[in-house]
């Protein structure tokens, strides 16, 4: 008696990812254009979210500049990243 294989075949195709990756390597300029177009489309469709993040990042930068004494401090970049992640998380809710 033959046993039946009850495993479902995955619908995920790794060859598509491989082909897309190879295409991106062969055509880096077109890939960059696609990325720029998709970023532009995202900004145009989500104006209020992008403005919310931008205005609050500027607010956080100005607050740190006037309270910590400038942009040249070595403690500037990690709080900037934490502000950015917090704004993206709270803005997406």
The answer to whether the CB of 87 falls within 8 A of the CB of 57 is yes
Closest CA to 60 of 81, 42, 35, 39: 81
pLDDT of residue 45: 93
What is the pTM for the complete model shown? 0.61
Residue 61 CB-half CA count within 13 A: 12
User: Would you list the domain boundaries of the chain?
Assistant: 16-45, 47-93
- Give the chain's residues under pLDDT 70: 1-10, 69-76
Q: How many whole angstroms separate alpha carbon 32 and alpha carbon 66?
A: 38
Q: How many whole angstroms separate alpha carbon 37 and alpha carbon 35?
A: 5
Tokens coding 37: 């177009």
């Amino acid at each position: 008696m033959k046993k039946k294989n009850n495993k479902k075949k995955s619908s995920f195709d790794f060859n598509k990812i491989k082909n897309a990756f190879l295409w991106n390597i062969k055509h880096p300029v077109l890939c960059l254009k696609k990325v720029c177009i998709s970023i532009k489309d995202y900004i145009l469709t989500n104006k209020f979210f992008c403005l919310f993040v931008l205005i609050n990042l500027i607010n956080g930068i100005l607050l740190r500049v006037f309270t910590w004494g400038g942009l040249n401090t070595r403690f500037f970049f990690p709080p900037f990243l934490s502000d950015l992640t917090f704004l993206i998380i709270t803005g997406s809710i």
